[in-house]
Amino acid sequence: MGKKSKDSSNQEEITLQKTAKFSVLELAGITQPFTTNDDAAAEQQQQQQQDDTNDSASNSNNNKESQKEGLQGRRAKASTGPRMDDTTTNLIGGNSFESRTPNPEWIKAREETYAKIATRRQEELAKKVPVPIKVVMPDGNVFDKTKDGVSFMAWKTSPYDVACVISQGLADAAVVARVTYENYVEDYDLGEDGMEGEDLLADAMEKDVDENAAAKAVLWDLTRPLVGNVAKLELLKFESDADAKTVFWHSSAHMLGEALEHLFGCRLTIGPPLKGGFYYDSYMGTKDAFKEEDYTPVEQEVQKIAKSKQKFDRLVVTKEEALELFAGNPFKEQIIKTKVPDGTRTTVYKCGDLIDLCRGPHVPHTGRVKAFAATRHSATSWLGDTDNDSLQRIYGISFPDKKMLKVWTENQELAKARDHRRIAAKQELIMFHDLSPGSAFWLPRGARIYNKLIEFIKQHYWKRGYDEIITPNIYNLDLWHQSGHALHYQDAMFSFEVEGQKWAMKPMNCPGHCLMFANSIRSYRDLPLRFADFGVLHRNELSGALTGLTRVRRFQQDDAHIYCREDQIEQEVLGALDFMKDVYDTFGMTYKLELSTRPKKALGDIALWDRAEQALANAMDKFAGKGGWRVNPGDGAFYGPKIDIKVMDAMERVHQCATVQLDFQLPIRFDLKYNTGSKEKGKEFERPVMVHRAMLGSVERMFAVLCEHWGGKWPFWISPRQVMVVPVHAEFNSYCEAVKEKLHDNSFYAEVDVSKATFQKKVRNAQVDQYNFQLVVGQNEVDNGTVNIRTRENKVEGEMKVDDFVEMCKKLRAEHK
């Protein structure tokens, strides 16, 4: 379901659907939350975690240092595979799979080919000269001998051997090593070891690593011999390290692939780790597909593989050897032909009789996987392009302990119960219709929440010196050519012709705000200018990618752009961070900050980048304290550095909704200037720095996040059902109506239950419907001018004067409680 676009060299390649810049990290298909069969196909369309305008090329890294590391152990993005140069034939599967065939003959033939290649590599290895090496641990301890006094030797000693010197328990608990080499031995060669070429699945992997650190440190199989002196050896455990989880799930994906070959004779394509699990895509012809009945045999086969404790063996192969190994699998052949340059080497891994293209690393053996479950399946397409072969995807999850799987299963049930689509339907908040897919219809009570969120942000705007503006919904496409969005983003825009010219619905506000800035002559005294805009945005998402409120076509953002002088960056960023803190403290959500710095493909003056990054760092130090944030080197947008704000909800899921991004390029594209007040020739005008910032991101997505965060139990200030007045008997209805009117006059949502149900049933119904308060009225309350208060948790607060209750409600609203 991807789209094709031309790059600057006119070479056509597969790209992902462009998406919203304020994105949720916990995506369907990555953490495997509750989904229906209708939205299962959305997996391959989920968004990348970066700004819409950030060309995917800005994240590429071709330098030799990163190639040493191979960017191993990364999780899959929600894409479906590596990028390929376009080929003349879209359907390549052919008759490589005809029917389900357990343990097909080609598995044995592949093993025989592997054995021949392995013999050649052993002959090469025999020529290597083992030399003494030393290993430094994170605590500074240096090891150079085994417990028996045998010296550590390059080409012989592995991280597992080093771990055994410390303790056998550590060696058995570690999943993978992270190695920072002091130097390589003289006879080690990156190219010969298959480490100099490109990671074959690099484009299918989620980019969340520190590239600068990765250039020095490399994830390394525990059983793979070291090839030099080690400046730092870290032994990573599943429970405490994200890289260890990624490696563990990557190994589990290989086990899943082995089971699929054993049971069905599938032609495997790619099987990457995800943020919370893994999947494997298989070609099963045009008529076959996975079914839920396949889960149990798959799980049983994986259990057999785990019990057999198959070793994960790494083998370096030439391009020709790789093609020989995977003869008959057109998908692996296409990867090799496209991604492996002639005359170079790559790597494969073997466990049992499975042999797969892989950069690694992996766990020592399959016995490390103690718990495995097949979680769901879906259809997809090779490389995410619907013109290509249809593939079958099966997802899995695994853990080194059965108790972890039990906890995971319970959490999935909790997530299922909190799914915003279920809650919104049950509480009658939103609806969708086939006549406008991807655009929510906000029912009266849903609109109450939506408007409260906007009102909440607008209150902050008033206090923080923002000016609200209103901009057009449609623009001539010339605007988007000027901004640069048309080149990279046009397929994601709703466009149409008017009087022979092409126009488009706006997918973002930034270019329109630039036009407003340029409309007047600006002075340095005018800055900063803070333009805030809740304008309606439209993005032409593919229908298969639409998912509740987290992926829509029509939405609004609490979008604002700050135009400031360079010397004001720190002050404005600090203000934005303080704004963000107030918002998420109100929501009861915690957050983490990351500074994403200049990427390889950055545009603009490096000195300006450096100064801007320092200003961001200074602001973050003042806001969070030194050590209260982390650097994400090289992950900034091509147009400027940014602060990624990752917020955690009640289920400890991570969402990226708020953002603060600097932009040096749009002011250039729109020739934005301000008068500096200087009389010196050439210095009369300067360009402003543009700050993109949002607190909620899209209101739709934030609605979904908060719905699941609070589990549908909306706090009083934002609740669409605040008060239900319950008469004990019909004779008190008129008094109840008067109470309701008083609350309504003070802008609270109140209703009266005049049904014929018993008052106990009325109270219970109101609690189930999530009314924050139930006001029970009988003769005593009528006589005293009071109400008897109960909460939705069925706590009896007792009798209170109506006016006092109104004041209490006002206080809750003012304090956002």
Secondary structure class of 164 (helix, strand, coil): helix
Long-range contacts of 515-519 (CB under 8 A, 24+ apart): 515/479, 515/670, 516/469, 516/471, 517/563, 517/670, 517/672, 517/688, 518/670, 518/671, 518/672
Spatial separation of the C-alpha atoms in residues 609 and 359, rounded to whole Å: 34
Bridge partners of 529, per DSSP, are 563
Q: What angle do CA 133, 314, 392 make, to 5 degrees?
A: 145
Spatial separation of the C-alpha atoms in residues 298 and 263, rounded to whole Å: 8
Dihedral class, residue 155 (left if φ above 0, else alpha if ψ from -120 to 50, else beta): left
Q: What angle do CA 46, 50, 56 make, to 5 degrees?
A: 90
Mention every residue, 6+ apart, whose C-beta is less than 8 A from residue 354: 254, 255, 257, 258, 261
Q: What angle do CA 132, 137, 138 make, to 5 degrees?
A: 155
Could you say which of 75, 224, 522, 539 is catalytic? 539
Dihedral class, residue 462 (left if φ above 0, else alpha if ψ from -120 to 50, else beta): alpha
Could you say which of 345, 561, 687, 792 is catalytic? 561
Could you say which of 642, 687, 740, 792 is catalytic? 642
Q: How do 750-752 and 723-727 pair as beta strands?
A: parallel
First to last CA, the chain: 43
Spatial separation of the C-alpha atoms in residues 759 and 765, rounded to whole Å: 10
Query: Would residue 554 show up in a list of annotated catalytic residues for this protein?
Result: no
What letters, b where the CB count within 10 A reaches 16 and e where it falls short, cover 774-804? bbbbbeebbeeebbbbbebeeeeeeebebee
Cβ–Cβ < 8 Å for 506, 478:
no
Q: What angle do CA 616, 693, 628 make, to 5 degrees?
A: 40
Query: Would residue 642 show up in a list of annotated catalytic residues for this protein?
Result: yes
Could you say which of 362, 420, 692, 701 is catalytic? 692
Could you say which of 510, 514, 564, 707 is catalytic? 510
Cβ–Cβ < 8 Å for 356, 254:
yes
Query: Would residue 559 show up in a list of annotated catalytic residues for this protein?
Result: yes
Query: Would residue 557 show up in a list of annotated catalytic residues for this protein?
Result: yes
Could you say which of 32, 412, 490, 557 is catalytic? 557
Could you say which of 203, 559, 644, 649 is catalytic? 559
Bridge partners of 496, per DSSP, are 503
Catalytic residue set = 510, 539, 557, 559, 561, 642, 692
